[in-house]
Structures are given as structure tokens and as C-alpha cells.
Amino acid sequence: MIEATKLSQTTDTRERVLNLLKLKGALTADLIADELGITSMGVRRHLITLERDGLIKYRIEQRGQGRPGYVYSLTEQGDETFPRTYPQLANSLLDTVKALYGDEGIERLFDKRTDELSKQYSERLSGKSLKDRVAELVKIRTEEGYMADWEQLDGKTFVLREHNCAICQIAKKCQSACSHELDLFRKVLDDATVTREKHIIKGDAVCAYVIRAKAEAKPKARAVRH
């Protein structure tokens, strides 16, 4: 019970530090301590942890004639810990597009997104073997929040899995989003066939894609003249 209480207090203080930096902007450790009513040493322990976790950063600033001081502020990652309404906004925009332009407008929107992502992905996949492109594609998707991994089944077959659907709320409302994700993979892995074997939206635990290298075209036999 004592350990649980300490953990709760630690978490609460971390949240209070983040909230304060969000509300007040950049602050020194002493100012944070004064605002929260705790010791400077206690605050610094939390600042070290928050910096280690990538939630805050510091800059060195000269104030008056004394030694330079450390001024702390939120990182982009720290700022993202606060509530966002991205899914609601995205769904609202889709509703607006549909009201203005119908289902065709929705398809054009996703077509454009697929083209743009295809260009971005292709820059990172260019010049690599199929195996290395699958590995790089997994890195890209993980960076985008899909928690992806992959394995090689044989010399020409791979499985790419996504354990999280980063566009889940949109996909539930507009399943053409999922078909465009599949189209995207097929565009950037155009020397392979890509099929979706499992689908989170349909109740599976993951989205799983089987990627098979296409058979190389056999050269045409030359005509023999008699």
C-alpha cells in the first residue's frame, strides 16, 4: 500500500509539472518548486525523469549577474500528452467532404493521400531489395503509430503485421480508408503481390499482410527461321 501511494504521488507530481509548464510556459526549477509548493530538490528529480522520457527540454539562460540557469519547457512529445481531438476533427472533415462532394469526393481525398504517402515511402524504399523494403516499411509504419513488425516465411514470402490501427476511428466510419492502405502497400511494393489476411476493423487482433515476390517473367523464345 505504501509503495502504491508513493507511485501515485510521483505520477501526480509529474502531471502537475507538465500542467504548469503548459499553462505558464518555460520556467526554472526554483519557480516550478515555488508554484507547486515542494522543494527544489524534489522538483529536479522529476525534471530529470521527464527529460529522460522526452517530455521536457531545457535551455541555459543568463539571468542577471549570477550563474546561468536552466529553463525548462515542454517538448513536442510532452505537448502531445495533453488532450487532442484529432479523430473527431478528421471525422467531421470527412462528413463535410461527403456533404459537399458525395462519396466520389471521399474517394478522391483518399486517392490523393495514397499518392502523397506513396511518394514519401518510395523515397525511403528506393534501391532496396524486397526484404529490405519490407523491413523499412515496418519502420515507417511504426513511426506513424501502427506498432508494426514482420517476419520472413520463405525466400519470397513475408508477413507484415500492424498491432495498432492509427486511423481506427476514421476506418470504422469510412472503410475505404482501409482499402487505400492496402493500395498504398501495393504501390510501394509493386514487384510483389500484397494481400490482407487479418483485419482489426473486422475483429482480428492485428492487421496482417502477406507479401509475395512476383515470379520473374520468362524471356520469350526466339523464333527459329528455317
Cβ-based neighbour number of residue 37 at 10 Å: 7
Write the pLDDT tens digit of every residue in 22-51. Answer: 999 999 999 999 999 999 899 999 999 999
Q: Where would I find the H helices in the chain?
A: 2-24, 29-36, 40-52, 76-79, 86-125, 130-143, 168-173, 176-188
Write the pLDDT tens digit of every residue in 57-103. Answer: 999 987 767 778 899 999 999 998 887 777 788 888 889 998 999 98
Q: CA 208, CA 163: separation in Å to the nearest integer?
A: 9
Q: CA 77, CA 29: separation in Å to the nearest integer?
A: 20
pTM, 2 dp: 0.66
Q: What is the CATH number of domain 2-79?
A: 1.10.10.10
| pLDDT for 1 | 39
Q: CA 35, CA 24: separation in Å to the nearest integer?
A: 10
Task: List the chain domain ranges.
Answer: 2-79, 86-213
Phi-psi region of 37 (alpha: psi -120 to 50; beta: other; left: phi over 0): left
Question: Which architecture characterizes domain 86-213 according to CATH?
Answer: 2-Layer Sandwich (3.30)
Write the pLDDT tens digit of every residue in 103-152. Answer: 899 999 999 999 999 999 999 999 999 999 999 999 999 999 999 999 99
